[in-house]
Structure 1
């Protein structure tokens, strides 16, 4: 979409067709929210979809991240001392979770092309909720390792699965905002977990539970109703969807929208399709891009918390150790939404500029922290602004949906591969560069993520170049096909005319 373009394509109902494309002038309100410029039928459909999908996706990702990040908050809130975790036990707990997450992702996303998502995803949520409750009764590192593995396995269904569903219902000009709204839940959950730990720490001693144990109990209580709601609100994907809140006409309109977008329906993973997928640059470079993003930010490491916990002057309370680092996640939430709106509106669908910006903020922050001997105010600033690098996931996912839009199975496999391989690296990389015993001066970690952020910028431009080149090839092929069709139609008209002249 060029900067000079003042019109957008939408879907409108007419007397002759249930859904046709029509160009309309874009009003300023559409820059606030894209449905304001759509016809009434489509606007009502989008309202229902946003209410169902975004609400469930955001709440589900909220509880996933709440259950994922709580181990860090529990660790700095008494669990370390109570269980004698003075080695690298926290690293091992995080690695066990990551291993389970890695094992489950791609198989789960492949199953989503065959099963009904509204049953598969909520069932997995219910399982990890029960396992989160169980963490409150653990009293040895080994018990944590086992449960964290199975929690990771159950949680592996959600992020790639919901990304696949979002990409199945929304068009290009709608994707980035929805995907980024979905991902802001991780930042909000990280903030909330810090505040929650501060609040529940005071419950220590009640009913035989310590403060950090109460965190797991309350996390489970929050997660349970969200998991159960999924069975009722998740709409599957358009071609098999029949939720109670959509009419048959609305489902047909949703299917038509995806046809206009070139988004393909579900199909089989045949040998020829797999060969096509693995012979394309899509799966390799998009996966590399997500690996560099996911491991080029220290969002999964409690580096700010450990800095505060190890501070001797001044000494911070448990409440302050859990609350102050939430400022980093506040930056993540704000920048994630800013990336989404700027990419969809001012940047006219371009995904790469915010990605490069976030990577640059990472480099500034982590190079400064690697030096370490810097003013305390700037050190705090670096910890806080590093959140600007956490919020790029939604844009990367939107970009992948667009690049792979013509093949449903490729889209599913690429999304699963991106997240899976990112966590494969996250399973072993922290054991090398984010060792608990090195904290809070994680020099190896800070240098590593700075280098990964540089590589992210380079890879982003490579993907952009290949994507533009591929689109140009497709445009040329389409022009040639249209030219051949036009020539064929002209000849079919010309022949009868010449014959009639000869007869005359």
Structure 2
């Protein structure tokens, strides 16, 4: 049997001289050789990435603003204890994590422009209602609803981006998109410090206005999103027919053979559920999502307990997040350029371990503040690199959507744990919280090593021909019935996805 993987690597996208050798061809016979690939992909970038970045900025701003509001008397005004506050933080993550896999499937079956916009409209409304809540029960209910309505955005957008770009292009785009989380962290401190001056207006305290104004801004953006968010490549309105064909064929040439669309089958969901990669990825995401939420929710409090007043604590969090934004984008670029996502993960997890060892051992405010820079460099930058790594190694539109949904959902579920680890009784040094985050990072490091080791082992097995399928009419001494029998290589590719013998995993 021909080595179709080698053919795919050797084929030239410009003009697609070998595209018919690659199997799936979207609209065969259409000549697209006159299209300039760089100009087209720049057009795709401008129509896909910027608005998604804005949406995630507001998503992260909305969910994290409760940490800023806490510094301005939220607990006292609502009459809640520190433990009740921590429970409210935790409640966000249960519906947020559990609904993510289902949301990704719905995103594929519906249109991103409809699904993502409706989601944002609902969470913006709920965010606004945080500003009129008067007791513990009301805050707890709103945090549950906020988690439910925000659930599908992050995994949905990651899956959506992976449906537009080649495997060597995904990491940087996800990094640019995710960098808005660091911008939100920086902006939330500045925004909170400004909005809180509205204290007493309309009979509402300053912290309430943080929720009200941010929520109303989200609602306005949600309405605009119905017209601005683009759909998948096979039906995006901003592309001409020839451009659509070009985008889909270049994805198919990159082993994304389902790029032209895929009919939903329960079998694709089961493929994800039976795949070991799904569960190792869940552990990998646990290793950085737990620390992410601990960091984002409690950075202002950590700085505050180092001896700085509330407003100054919020302002001192700004440069930390700016630094995190810069590092995240740089790592995303390096991941795509070098393709060494595993080695980058090793370096970042190690940096994270060093940061929290410093935080555990330090009794000096200045040293602890420095460690927050090191921590954000690891925690935030590792996320888009890992997301791209997992997405690149799962083929099949529905299988990838479920795998990403489960991995991201499980990772986010750990936010319910880390939302409770920075207790008031542990201040000012928060040894318990730092120790638990250190444990999470260790788990992530172990899972990264396991993931890379098993991927390399599987590639080696395929290189030896031990996964070759029986193809009708094709002589292949390595072919084995246990790997499946198919009428053509094309049928094997589409049915097996990344389990096809010609698919090679990336490191």
TM (normalized to structure 1)?
A: 0.83
**Counterpart of 1:127?**
122
Shift of 1:145: 0.9
**Counterpart of 2:97?**
102
- What is the CA deviation profile of residues 80-116 of structure 1, one whole-angstrom value per residue up to 9, with x for unaligned ones? 3322333212211211211221232111112123212
Q: Secondary structure at the match of 1:77?
A: coil
**Counterpart of 1:12?**
14
**Counterpart of 1:339?**
331
Shift of 1:451: 2.1
Query: Which of 160, 184, 189 does residue 194 from structure 1 map onto?
Result: 189
Q: Secondary structure at the match of 2:253?
A: helix
**Cα 1:13/1:268, change in 2 over 3 Å:** closer
1:441 is aligned to 2:436: no
**Counterpart of 2:169?**
174
In 2, Cα distance between equivalents of 1:72 and 1:480 = 54
Alignment of 1:138-149 (within 5 A): 138-149=133-144
Shift of 1:171: 0.3
1:254 is aligned to 2:247: yes
Query: Which of 47, 57, 63 does residue 62 from structure 1 map onto?
Result: 57
**Cα 1:478/1:249, change in 2 over 3 Å:** farther
Shift of 1:170: 0.2
Paired residues of 1:303 and 1:440 also in contact (CA < 8 A): no
Q: Secondary structure at the match of 1:139?
A: coil
In 2, Cα distance between equivalents of 1:153 and 1:480 = 43
**Counterpart of 1:383?**
372
1:329 is aligned to 2:321: yes
In 2, Cα distance between equivalents of 1:408 and 1:151 = 27
Shift of 1:395: 0.9
In 2, Cα distance between equivalents of 1:46 and 1:332 = 27
Shift of 1:479: 11
**Counterpart of 2:84?**
89
Paired residues of 2:324 and 2:373 also in contact (CA < 8 A): no
Alignment of 1:15-54 (within 5 A): 41-54=36-49
Q: Secondary structure at the match of 1:150?
A: helix
**Counterpart of 2:453?**
465
In 2, Cα distance between equivalents of 1:267 and 1:334 = 37
**Cα 1:219/1:275, change in 2 over 3 Å:** closer
**Counterpart of 2:392?**
402
**Cα 1:19/1:130, change in 2 over 3 Å:** farther
1:350 is aligned to 2:343: no
In 1, Cα distance between equivalents of 2:19 and 2:10 = 19
**Counterpart of 1:184?**
179
1:422 is aligned to 2:406: no
Q: Secondary structure at the match of 2:13?
A: strand
Shift of 1:144: 1.0
Shift of 1:9: 6.7
**Counterpart of 1:491?**
none
Root mean square deviation of aligned Cα: 2.8
**Cα 1:386/1:8, change in 2 over 3 Å:** farther
Query: Which of 127, 147, 157 does residue 152 from structure 2 map onto?
Result: 157
Q: Secondary structure at the match of 1:325?
A: helix
Paired residues of 2:57 and 2:184 also in contact (CA < 8 A): yes
TM (normalized to structure 2)?
A: 0.83
**Cα 1:39/1:171, change in 2 over 3 Å:** farther
- What is the CA deviation profile of residues 311-362 of structure 1, one whole-angstrom value per residue up to 9, with x for unaligned ones? 5xx5x333212110223222221111121121122xx211122222221222
In 2, Cα distance between equivalents of 1:301 and 1:66 = 10
**Cα 1:151/1:298, change in 2 over 3 Å:** closer
Shift of 1:400: 1.1
Q: Point out where structure 2 has 5 or more consecutive residues left out of the alignment.
A: 1-8, 23-32, 478-507
1:242 is aligned to 2:230: no
**Counterpart of 2:226?**
231
Shift of 1:267: 3.6
**Cα 1:206/1:20, change in 2 over 3 Å:** farther
Paired residues of 2:12 and 2:18 also in contact (CA < 8 A): no
**Cα 1:254/1:370, change in 2 over 3 Å:** same
Q: Secondary structure at the match of 1:88?
A: helix
Paired residues of 1:267 and 1:408 also in contact (CA < 8 A): yes
**Counterpart of 1:360?**
350
- What is the CA deviation profile of residues 268-313 of structure 1, one whole-angstrom value per residue up to 9, with x for unaligned ones? 55454444333321111111110112114464454432234335xx
Query: Which of 177, 199, 203 does residue 204 from structure 1 map onto?
Result: 199
- What is the CA deviation profile of residues 448-479 of structure 1, one whole-angstrom value per residue up to 9, with x for unaligned ones? 22122222222212111111222233344399
Paired residues of 1:11 and 1:39 also in contact (CA < 8 A): no
Moved more, 212-221 or 265-274: 265-274
Paired residues of 1:297 and 1:449 also in contact (CA < 8 A): no
Moved more, 319-328 or 58-67: 319-328
Alignment of 1:279-318 (within 5 A): 279-297=274-292, 299-300=294-295, 302-311=297-306, 316-318=308-310
- What is the CA deviation profile of residues 230-257 of structure 1, one whole-angstrom value per residue up to 9, with x for unaligned ones? 2123222223x131x2111111111112
